[in-house]
Amino acid sequence: DTGVSQDPRHKITKRGQNVTFRCDPISEHNRLYWYRQTLGQGPEFLTYFQNEAQLEKSRLLSDRFSAERPKGSFSTLEIQRTEQGDSAMYLCASSLGPTTGANEQFFGPGTRLTVL
Amino acid sequence: AQKVTQAQTEISVVEKEDVTLDCVYETRDTTYYLFWYKQPPSGELVFLIRRNSFDEQNEISGRYSWNFQKSTSSFNFTITASQVVDSAVYFCALGRYAGNMLTFGGGTRLMVKP
């Protein structure tokens, strides 16, 4: 399978714990995005990387959230001191960079986080 | 600021009916991209189409067609002869020309009954 993969698919944690999610993009894609989707809503942008550089962060991304893409391949999203409001589906997407002038993003299956 | 509005939260049709999903957007950019994605019950967003703002030609792909009207800032999606497998949530999204974040609408849940 050469699509975007995410791990784990589901995560249940207690309030105050730290969690980390992983995303593996499509191999030739240099851009990687994180979105959050709550029930009944459209995805909301969190952050994106071009290669290993984090180029944009949403105001939704509080200090408790951090994302990395150390070698320009896979990425991790960490949430520290989780709160019940963090419960959502966390989606990762990847795309080719701006050289094509296009940015259709291909999404992974998501990680569903439940904070008790 | 960019905004996408999908006023229809839920639509129910009977199989073989045609259905149109509305999308209205707001942007100050003169060049931008518009997208439609499908999210079936399995949850994974599936890319359907991308349209450049400088190309207003309508597009047809099988039973799917898209009507882009820059004058009314709309990018509507029509499914002809709907099928049960079309049941899903459909999202319209707006992207900047430089290609970073997508701004999604709230989605329209389409239910196609046999």
Condensed to tens digits (0 to 9), the pLDDT of residues A73-95 reads 999 999 999 999 999 999 999 99
- Chain B: give the shortest CA distance to residue A66, in Å: 17
Chain B residues within 8 Å of chain A (Cβ atoms): 4, 33, 35, 37, 42-47, 50, 91, 93, 95, 97-107
**Which residue of A48, A101, A106 is in closest CB contact with B100?**
A48
Please calculate the CA angle B19-B64-A105 and round it to the nearest 5 degrees.
115
Say what the pLDDT of residue A100 is.
53
Q: Which residues contact A113 (CB under 8 A, 6 or more apart)?
A: A11, A12, A13, A19, A21, A79, A82, A86, A87, A88, A89, A90
Condensed to tens digits (0 to 9), the pLDDT of residues B24-54 reads 999 998 888 999 999 998 889 999 998 888 8
Closest C-alpha among B42, B8, B19 to residue B113: B19
